[in-house]
Amino acid sequence: MSDARSATAGRTGDQPASAQHGQSPIRALRRAAGLTQGQLGEYAGVTRQTIAAIEKGDYAPSVYLALRIARRLDSTVEHLFPLDKEPS
């Protein structure tokens, strides 16, 4: 990822329009990259169903899987899996 993009990753204005309207950032970036759930799953070593569950928020991936997905989508784990609230 370029330095300019990494500096702005995660800002609402830099997300695809679909991500700004409640869509998973993973789904938005996957679609923007022209990938199916199956193709992303194959790269990451999981099934299409696992990618679908991650996109819906029904499954929290391992750190390794999150890193694989972020790498393929040229993004960061922090952008793809934002914390709702910082721990106190």
CATH number for the domain formed by residue range(s) 37-81? 1.10.260.40
Tokens encoding 81:
């899996």
**What residues does each domain of the chain span?**
37-81
Which of 25, 32, 33, 60 lies closest to 46, judged by CA?
Answer: 60
Percentage with pLDDT > 70 across the chain: 70
1-60 tens-digit pLDDT: 443 333 334 333 444 444 445 689 999 999 999 999 999 999 999 999 999 999 999 999
Which of 64, 68, 40 lies closest to 52, judged by CA?
Answer: 40
Q: Which residues are CB-neighbours of 36 under 8 A, at least 6 positions away? A: 30, 48
